[in-house]
Every structure is written in structure tokens, then in C-alpha cells.
């Protein structure tokens, strides 16, 4: 863990929140490469579960909600953890909305799920979906955790990616299994080491107040086997409490759909990906560390370097004929001319950049460059004109 935490700071992924003022427990700030990594993970999730399907509808609800939402959801009464002296402590952050006497109590949402339930009717009215269908949301959630710990594993402000999938009550088991498979597939797509993932059937006494069945996908972190994310059968608890229903045209009756919920904590996914990707090996007699990110989620797809930064003809070629067109095509392209080539490779290895492209003196005569593979360290010469396709085939 220490190596990962220090790499994340050194290379601009994740910093302690409010660091120059001594920090604020349970908060982290994301640097340039951390934001890129998170965005790529979010995009992969949204693409698979929203863009590539016709039955799931996106939502981006307000973080502040009417406090009646949290009363109906059961969070005001029951979203508590025991303190050291055994008292129940509600972990929702309470705040005030409005001025003076007029101010109303509100809470920072502790899950994104309720933002979808309160828009259930709006979504049904706007899109007339047939069962089964779902809603999806990515956004911040807040919990005043009693003991935040283990880097980004348990924070007070974190990000969730949740799907609420509405089904007929008789179908819940079928769709529970279906979502288990979907989530396993997605974890592989983003490069989580599936040998470190284990399913835990959560016992009734340990389940959330709304759940009739929960599976925790656990991960082998360096600090133990702990929850990565959950898959819950929320039955009709939420829609019933919000007094929402659905006209099932197939049977001509009003029903309350049941809910299957894959609820992913993005920060824990980032941590699991970092831990699955971190490798140390030996290159040229030295220990090197690198992140073997899958190209689809790597913050940088390729770095472009002139062999020497004091040779204007190399810099000019690298900049105009290689970097600029690749940057325009892929966006996630870095310019790196700092230090010698060995240092640049080490730096890009730690960022997890799959390919390093170097413009050298041969380039000026034959329009080819070297492309170095992060994992094997092997280099091949590729025509500049073929670079875009070369990369497209590999990301």
C-alpha cells in the first residue's frame, strides 16, 4: 500500500485532501492522471451499461435533496454505525438549506440511489420503458465515517456508480444472476485481477435495512479481504416507501417493481485496479515499477519524445508530425522530453503508459519511429503514417 500511495502522489494521481493545511481526514484530491483514470473507468461503465443498451436511462440528480427523501428511505432512522462506546451514530452529513428561521434541514446524499428513485416517475413518464428497465447514475456520495482509513478505501466523500434495475417480482432471481455476470465481465474489462475477487453471500444480520439478498464482491487488498462493491436485491422497499408504482400494460395492473442494484464504489475500483496493475520487475539490472493498466483505462495512451531535446530538427519533427496529429486523434497523448530516454521510460512506466514513441535521427530520413511496449520493454520500428492505426488496434 505504501508504494501505491507514494506512487500516486509522486506521479500526480491522488493527493491527501487539503494537504497544505494538515489535511482533512477521509478526503482525497485527484491530480491530472487520477482524474483521467477515473474518467476512463466511468466512461467504460457508462458505455457498457447505458450507451450500448436501450433499457437503461441516465440520471444526474442533485446532491442536496428534500429531507423527506431520507425519512422515506429509512436513512434518517437507520443509517448508523456504532461508536466506540456503543452509541448509534448516523453517518449522514446534515446541513441547512436557506436562511435563518426559514432554513430547512437537508443531508448530503449518502448514496446516489435515492436520486434515481425520486426520478422514477419522471423517467417512466418521459420514456415509457417496459419492464425490465433500469436507471443509472454516477456521482458523489458522502458519509461521516467514524473511522476513515486505508487510503481511498474508506472516505467521507467518495463516488458511486449505481444501477437500479426494475423487474417483476417473480423475475428477481434471474436478474440477480444476470447482474452478477455483467459485473464480473465489466471488472475484467477494466483490468481487475479476478483471482483477487471473491463473492461473499451477506448474512441477513449484516445486510442493509432494505436488502433481501446481497452479494459483496470482495477484493484481496494488502490490508485484508474487504468489500469492493455490492449487488443487492432491494425488493420493493424503495418504491413502496416513496409511494411510487408502475402500470404494467402486459397484465393491465398497477404493480410495484422490484429492484436489483449493482452499486459500485468508483474509488475502490480505482484502488483495486492500481493494486491489480502494480508490477515490479528487473530491467537493465535495475528494479523498475510499472502499472500495467489496460490501454482502455490508461490515463495516457502514448508518450512522444524527441531522442534529444537540444536538436531542433528532432523536436520539430516529433512535435508537428507525431505528437500533434496523435494528440488531435486520441487526446490522451503526452509530450515527454525531460531527462534521458531511460528516465522517460521509467516515468511513463509508473504512469502506466502502454506505448512510448521516440523520434531519432533515422526518423528524419525514413519517416519511422521506435515504439516501445511498456510491459516487455521491446521496441519496434513503425512508419509514422501507420501510427494512428497501430494504436487504434491496441486500445
Residue nearest to ligand GAP (CB): 265
CB of 293 to ligand GAP, least distance (A): 20
Nearer to ligand GAP, 106 or 160 (CB): 160
Give me the residue label for grid cell 484530491.
Answer: 29
Give least dist CB 162 to ligand GAP, A: 6
Residue 229: CB minimum distance to ligand GAP, A: 4
The three cell numbers of residue 114 are: 435515492
**Shortest distance (Å) from residue 32 CB to ligand GAP:** 22
What minimum distance in Å lies between the beta carbon of 86 and ligand GAP?
21
Cis amide linkage into residue 132, ω under 30° from 0: yes
101 CB-near residues (< 8 Å, 6+ apart):
none
Helices (H), the chain: 2-10, 32-46, 67-72, 75-78, 113-117, 120-127, 172-189, 237-241, 266-277, 312-317, 324-330, 341-351, 361-366, 387-392
Distance (Å) of CA 118 to CA 55, 75, 231, 290: 18, 15, 21, 44
Please give the residue ranges that form the binding site for ligand GAP (CB under 6 A).
111, 113, 143, 145, 154-155, 158, 160, 162, 227, 229-230, 261, 263, 265, 267-268
Kind of pairing between the strands at 56-58 and 133-142: parallel
Q: How far apart are CB 158 and ligand GAP at their closest, in Å? A: 4
User: Please, what is the minimum distance in Å from the beta carbon of residue 159 to ligand GAP?
Assistant: 8
Nearer to ligand GAP, 154 or 321 (CB): 154
Distance CA 70, CA 300 (A): 41
Sequence-distant (≥ 6) Cβ neighbours of residue 331 within 8 angstroms: none
Rg (CA), the chain: 24
Q: Which is nearer to ligand GAP, 267 or 336 (CB)?
A: 267
Evaluated on CA atoms 262, 115, 23, 105, the torsion sign reads: negative
Q: Which is nearer to ligand GAP, 142 or 355 (CB)?
A: 142
Nearer to ligand GAP, 162 or 360 (CB): 162
Q: Which helix (H) or strand (E) holds 222?
A: none
- Report which of 335, 320, 331, 340 is spatially closest to residue 384, judged by C-alpha positions: 320
Question: Residue 236 has which C-alpha cell?
Answer: 420493493
Let me know: does 313 contact 388? Beta carbons within 8 Å.
no
At closest approach, how far in Å is the CB of 188 from ligand GAP?
18
Work out whether strand 133-142 and strand 157-167 pair parallel, antiparallel, or are unpaired.
antiparallel
**Burial level of 207, CB count in 10 A (0-12/13-18/19+)?**
middle
Least separation, in Å, of the C-beta of 19 and ligand GAP? 19
Query: How many C-alpha atoms does 394 have within 13 Å on its Cβ side?
Result: 17
What is d(CA 41, CA 346) in angstroms, rounded to the nearest whole number?
Answer: 24
Nearest approach, Cβ of residue 137 and ligand GAP (Å): 10
Amino acid at each position: 500500500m505504501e508504494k501505491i500511495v507514494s506512487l500516486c502522489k509522486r506521479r500526480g494521481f491522488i493527493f491527501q485532501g487539503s494537504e497544505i493545511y494538515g489535511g482533512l481526514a477521509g478526503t482525497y484530491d485527484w491530480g491530472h492522471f487520477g482524474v483521467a483514470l477515473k474518467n476512463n473507468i466511468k466512461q467504460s461503465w457508462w458505455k457498457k451499461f447505458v450507451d450500448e443498451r436501450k433499457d437503461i436511462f441516465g440520471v444526474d440528480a442533485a446532491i442536496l435533496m428534500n429531507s423527506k427523501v431520507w425519512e422515506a428511505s429509512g436513512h434518517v432512522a437507520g443509517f448508523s454505525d456504532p461508536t466506540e462506546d456503543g452509541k448509534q451514530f448516523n453517518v449522514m452529513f446534515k446541513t441547512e438549506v436557506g436562511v435563518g428561521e426559514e432554513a430547512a434541514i437537508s443531508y448530503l446524499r449518502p448514496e446516489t440511489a435515492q436520486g434515481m428513485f425520486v426520478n422514477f416517475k419522471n423517467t417512466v413518464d418521459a420514456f415509457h420503458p417496459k419492464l425490465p428497465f433500469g436507471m443509472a447514475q454516477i456521482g458523489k456520495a458522502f458519509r461521516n465515517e467514524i473511522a476513515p482509513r486505508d487510503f481511498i478505501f474508506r472516505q467521507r466523500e467518495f463516488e458511486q456508480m449505481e444501477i437500479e434495475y426494475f423487474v417483476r417480482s417473480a423475475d428477481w432471481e434471474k436478474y440477480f444472476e444476470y447482474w452478477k455476470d455483467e459485473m464480473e465481465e465489466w471488472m475484467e474489462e477494466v483490468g481487475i485481477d479476478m483471482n483477487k475477487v471473491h463473492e461473499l453471500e451477506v448474512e441477513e444480520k449484516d445486510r442493509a435495512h432494505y436488502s433481501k439478498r446481497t452479494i459483496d464482491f470482495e477484493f484481496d487488498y494488502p490490508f485484508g479481504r474487504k468489500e469492493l462493491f455490492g449487488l443487492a436485491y432491494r425488493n420493493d422497499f424503495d418504491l413502496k416507501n416513496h409511494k411510487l408504482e408502475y402500470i404494467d400494460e402486459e397484465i393491465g395492473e398497477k404493480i410495484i417493481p422490484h429492484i436489483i442494484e449493482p452499486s459500485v464504489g468508483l474509488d475502490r475500483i480505482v484502488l483495486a485496479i492500481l493494486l491489480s496493475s502494480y508490477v515490479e520487475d528487473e530491467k537493465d539490472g535495475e528494479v523498475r515499477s510499472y502499472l500495467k493498466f489496460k490501454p482502455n483505462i490508461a490515463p495516457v495512451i502514448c508518450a512522444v519524445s524527441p531522442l534529444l531535446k537540444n536538436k531542433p530538427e528532432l523536436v520539430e519533427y516529433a512535435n508537428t508530425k507525431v505528437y500533434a496529429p496523435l494528440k488531435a486523434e486520441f487526446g490522451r497523448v503526452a509530450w515527454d522530453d525531460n531527462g534521458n530516454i531511460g528516465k522517460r521510460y521509467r516515468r511513463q512506466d509508473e504512469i502506466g503508459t502502454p506505448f512510448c514513441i521516440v523520434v531519432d535521427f533515422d526518423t528524419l530520413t525514413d519517416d519511422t519511429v521506435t515504439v516501445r511496449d511498456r510491459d516487455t520493454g521491446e521496441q519496434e520500428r513503425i512508419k509514422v503514417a501507420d501510427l494512428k492505426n497501430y494504436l487504434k488496434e491496441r486500445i
